[in-house]
Amino acid sequence: MSTAAHAPASFNRYRRDWRALLTRHEMLLLYVLIAEWLFFYFAGTSTNRRGVIVGFGTWDRQFDILRHSCEIGLLALALTPVIITAGIDLSVGSLLGLCAILFGKLWHDAGLSIPVAIGLTLGIGALAGALNAVLITALRLPPLIVTLGTYSLFRGLAEAITRGSITYTDFPETFLFIGQERWLGLPTQAWIFLLVALAMGLLLHRTTYGRAFRTIGLAPEGARYAGLPVERRLALVYVLAGLIAAIAAIIYTARLGQAKADAGTGYELFAITAVVLGGTSIFGGTGTIVGTLLGVAAIAVLKNGLACLPVVMRLNAAEEMSGLFTGALLLAALTASVLPKILSNLRPRRHSSTQSIPPLSP
């Protein structure tokens, strides 16, 4: 066609540059992840007295990492589109707790079957997300404050319902299969996690919805002037976050075999860390699902790997260490991502300041 003839030679080159720019952060993170994994493989694996390999380098440990990262991973998937629209949702961890409690109540107290209780719980999650959505889009309140409010509200509700003491247990084996068994070689919940990841990936990268999220994150006014349904798209993002938090609640309950009001406490912060580590800009507009998955993996491997290190085991400080290193990793990643920009900004500025000094002045 005449397209190729008309287009300047540089048309395709630009395209590749642009792609390279986008993938650079994810590639960097992949290297970090591999390095991390190799380090723990060599430093965190040992043979015990009976000659059995223990620690990080076992298949069991790998599956365990996967199993334990599903809930925070789901929340991170939920938060990726939220943050891409330049919003935030602090309430997902609390909502996980509330949904876990309500699921337990629906099954245990209301006597509903497990599938019905799951269905209702997912609906409740979406509804709770809709509450955030209404406050943010209809009343135009800032997402940070709205979800800070619902963060307390949802957790408070969960605690009020259980009066801080009730724990729902004795779930049927068939339900616990979701959280404690393997299916087709992988922990069951990993399949759910991967399915949600695929769905979110498609939504974000292959549909007009993802386009709208990005545009809103980059230029909310510009999106309005382009006739995009800004409010409806923003609402969708928060409803989806609620729905996915409910899925995470089900998996959490199935993994531990119990539903308590404090389920998922602090998870929202781990999830945000994973999303930002994965290259999603907290200012909105950029971010990928692949990046988020890598971010989740980097944090999960770090946390589990540290627990396998002999030094850490001797000090009995796995929690503290993982907090410390996760924080350091996040700050390093953020610094690395802005460093090229700062360096390139420094040069022209220095240039222009020497230019603007006038030749003479009495």
Partner 1 sequence: MSSPLLALRQIVKNYGGVRALRGVDFDLRAGEVHALLGENGAGKSTLIKIVTGAHAPDGGTISLAGQPVADLTPASARALGIACIYQQPALFPDLTVAENLALRLDATSAHARVDWTARRARATALLDRIGAAIAPDTEVCTLSMPEQQLVEIACALGSGARIVIMDEPTASLTQKEQHLLYAVVRDLRKNGVGVIYISHRLEEISALADRVTVLRDGQSVGTHAVGDINEAGLIRLMVGREVAQIYPAAESAPGAPVLSLRGVGCTASGVHDVSFDVRAGEIFGLGGLVGAGRTELARILFGLTPADSGQITLAGETLLLRSPQDAVAHGIAYVPEDRRRHGVVLELPIAQNITMAVHRRLFPTTWLRFGAERALALDYIRDLAVKCAGPDAPGGSLSGGNQQKIALARWLATRPKLLILDEPTQGVDIGAKSEIHKIIRRLAQEGLAVILISSDLPEVIGMGDRIGVMAHGTLRTILPGGSDPHTVMAAALGTAA
Contact positions toward partner 1, by CB under 8 A?
Answer: 3, 6-8, 10-12, 14-15, 18, 206-209, 211-212, 214-215, 218-219, 221-229, 285, 356, 358, 360-362
| Amino acid (one-letter) located at 152 | S
Pick the closer one to partner 1 by CB: 180 or 286: 286
Pick the closer one to partner 1 by CB: 44 or 81: 81
| Amino acid (one-letter) located at 325 | F
Tell the smallest beta-carbon distance from residue 222 to partner 1 (Å).
Answer: 5
Tell me the C-alpha distance between 206 and 241, whole Å. Answer: 19
Pick the closer one to partner 1 by CB: 222 or 266: 222
Pick the closer one to partner 1 by CB: 123 or 222: 222
Pick the closer one to partner 1 by CB: 139 or 360: 360
As to burial, measured by CB atoms within 10 angstroms (0-12 exposed, 13-18 middle, 19+ buried), residue 328 is: exposed
Tell the smallest beta-carbon distance from residue 281 to partner 1 (Å).
Answer: 10
Tell the smallest beta-carbon distance from residue 12 to partner 1 (Å).
Answer: 7
Tokens of 281: 């800009």
Tell the smallest beta-carbon distance from residue 131 to partner 1 (Å).
Answer: 23
Tell the smallest beta-carbon distance from residue 360 to partner 1 (Å).
Answer: 8
Tell me the C-alpha distance between 274 and 33, whole Å. Answer: 13
Question: What is the C-alpha radius of gyration for the chain, rounded to an integer number of angstroms?
Answer: 23
Tell the smallest beta-carbon distance from residue 333 to partner 1 (Å).
Answer: 21
Pick the closer one to partner 1 by CB: 11 or 42: 11
Asked whether 236 and 130 are in contact (CB, 8 A), the reply is no
Tell me the C-alpha distance between 82 and 324, whole Å. Answer: 26
Judged by DSSP in three states, 102 sits in helix
Tell the smallest beta-carbon distance from residue 353 to partner 1 (Å).
Answer: 13
Q: How far is CA 44 from CA 50, 307, 327, in A?
A: 18, 8, 21
Tell the smallest beta-carbon distance from residue 241 to partner 1 (Å).
Answer: 20
Pick the closer one to partner 1 by CB: 54 or 218: 218
Tokens of 74: 């789901």
- Mind giving me the DSSP string for 323-354? HHHHHHHHHHHHHHHHHHHHHHHHHHHHHHHH
Pick the closer one to partner 1 by CB: 51 or 227: 227
Cβ-count burial 264-301 (b if 16+ within 10 Å, e if not): beebbebbbbbbbbbbbbeebbbbbbbbbbbbbbbbbb
